[in-house]
Amino acid sequence: MGWPWMTSSLFAAEERASLGRVDSLLSCPAKELPRPGSVGVSYGFSVLNLVNAIMGSGILGLAYVMAHTGILGFSFMLLIVALLASFSVHLLLSMCTQTAVTSYEDLGLFAFGLPGKVVVAGTIIIQNVGAMSSYLLIIETELPTAISEFLPGDYSGSWYLDGKTLLIIICVVIVFPLALLPKIGFLGYTSSLSFFFMVFFALVIVIKKWSIPCPLTLNCMEQYFQISNATDDCKPKLFHFSKESVYTLPTMVFLFLCHTSILPIYCELQSPSKKRMQNVTNTAIALSFLIYLISALFGYLTFYDKVASDVLQDYGKYLPHDAVVRTVRLCFLCAVILTVPLIHFPARKALMMMFFSNFSFSWIHHFLITLALNIIIVLCAIYVPDIRNVFGVIGSSTSTCLTFVFPGLFYLKLSREDFLSWKKLGAFVLLILGGLVGNFSLAVIVFNWINNK
């Protein structure tokens, strides 16, 4: 198999050298990374960075998902996916301990040689570029509306209400400088702010539960219209299944995707060890799980079966002049903006390992790749039509590979444990589950397209 950026002879030579390095390292005894007591990123900042990598715009649709699965059905499935995500991280960290490397790409190299490294790096790049482009699309479409809600008159046509202009300004002033930082640990402060915004979002949903009565009444030109029936629509369902329920599992799988950021955060962790990084992961996933569950539960208990796929739209509809709702919308968009630089790091690292792995760190390479990534995601957000559907297809495959398929497959390949050991059986389950979820997600998206057409 040839690659467009190298000749076949160079490929063969590098692959032989890579496999030689793999064999020599695999012969070494497994041990923890030898940096105890090193100065690095604190435990708290590492947790906040990982929470920021986990949480994104998917939180807006969780109340809608709960409406179509029921409270207990949703809670059970969310817990299972969180535990599986934590287990897959455990496998990644175990492989790093065995092989003495701390990059996802090098795990692919150890497992399947240079093709494995290229596949993992390419998957990371595609998934992260898709995620960043989707986040920027949210900024482009939603930020002008959020700003206009604070303005007293009609300022339509102004440059500060133009989505493309705002997007470019934000990328130049905020995203690019933050993404240019040399270490992911430097984003601990912005991750703290993003986490505060997410907590604020969840608290507002809890508080506003008592500001919107059920049956729901819609205020239209000072006239109130009842749009739901108290007997039928104001009772929470513990379990519920409908045709919309098929979207639940694919949605939940993407909620805890943080695996591309795990190893960069691990490299910079203060006194790094497998156990310490696993504790960071478990804490971050637990915090994310708690915020997800609270937001979904109280959003559902506010609007019940009438909840929209974007819960903030409901609050804008039933509380159109509420200053707190307007503020939380703006804060949520700020949290999304601060997530984009964090996703830059694994994408840039993957590009560096593909093209500049034999070079020492260079600020020129660092600057040019960061700039190129920024330009690509801005152009995708602005000019690619229907980008959510495009990256929905890509995301359904790349996300499940990074979360389930690769950790399971690499562990089965690299571990010398007996196949009947609980870790290898768990890795096999992850591999099968990842394949099923990825194919199912793709089928659901294609089915959606056909129905929409």
Cβ(188)–Cβ(42) below 8 Å: yes
pLDDT at position 82 over 70: yes
Does the residue 377 lie in any domain?
Answer: yes
Query: Looking at residue 389, what is its pLDDT?
Result: 62
Does the residue 4 lie in any domain?
Answer: no
Helix (H) or strand (E) holding 218: strand 217-220
Cβ(424)–Cβ(417) below 8 Å: yes
> Tens digit of pLDDT for each residue in 336-357?
999 999 999 999 999 988 888 7
* Tokens 């400088």, residue located: 177
Length of the chain: 453
Of residues 88 and 29, which shows the higher confidence score? 88
Mean pLDDT of 150-160: 76
Q: What is the DSSP letter of 41?
A: B
Q: Of 58-62, 191-195, 390-394, give the lowest mean pLDDT range.
A: 390-394
Does the residue 251 lie in any domain?
Answer: yes
Partnered with residue 224 across adjacent β-strands are 219
Helix (H) or strand (E) holding 201: helix 188-207
Q: Compute the 3-state secondary structure of the chain and give helix, strand, coil in percent, each to the nearest 5.
A: 75, 0, 20
Could you list the beta-strand ranges (E) of 53-143: none
CA pseudo-torsion sign 344, 175, 276, 76 = negative
Could you list the beta-strand ranges (E) of 243-367: none
pLDDT at position 60 over 80: yes
User: Amino acid identity, residue 453?
Assistant: K
Calpha distance 376→320 (Å, rounded): 36
The count of structural domains within the chain is 1
Calpha distance 136→131 (Å, rounded): 9
Question: Phi first, then psi: what are they for 141, rounded to 5°?
Answer: -90, -30
Does the residue 30 lie in any domain?
Answer: no
CA pseudo-torsion sign 50, 54, 60, 66 = negative
Query: Looking at residue 217, what is its pLDDT?
Result: 67
Query: Measuring CA to CA, how many Å separate 120 from each of 145, 245, 260?
Result: 38, 31, 10
* Tokens 């339509």, residue located: 156
The string over 394-417, giving b where at least 16 C-beta atoms fall within 10 Å of a residue's C-beta and e elsewhere, is bbbbbbbbbbbbbbbbbbbebbee
Tokens representing 188 are 């601990």
Cβ(240)–Cβ(68) below 8 Å: yes
Calpha distance 277→266 (Å, rounded): 6
Calpha distance 440→434 (Å, rounded): 10
Q: Of 39-53, 111-125, 213-227, give the lowest mean pLDDT range.
A: 213-227
Query: Looking at residue 204, what is its pLDDT?
Result: 92
pLDDT at position 195 over 50: yes
The enclosing domain of 207 has a CATH number of 1.20.1740.10
Does the residue 29 lie in any domain?
Answer: no
pLDDT at position 155 over 60: yes
- Domain enclosing residue 134, as ranges: 41-452
How does the average pLDDT of the chain come out, rounded?
81
Residue 229: half-sphere exposure toward Cβ, Cα within 13 Å: 2
Does the residue 6 lie in any domain?
Answer: no
Please name which of 243, 290, 313 lies closest in space to residue 68, comparing C-alpha atoms: 243
pLDDT at position 333 over 80: yes
pTM of the predicted model as reported, rounded to 2 decimal places: 0.82
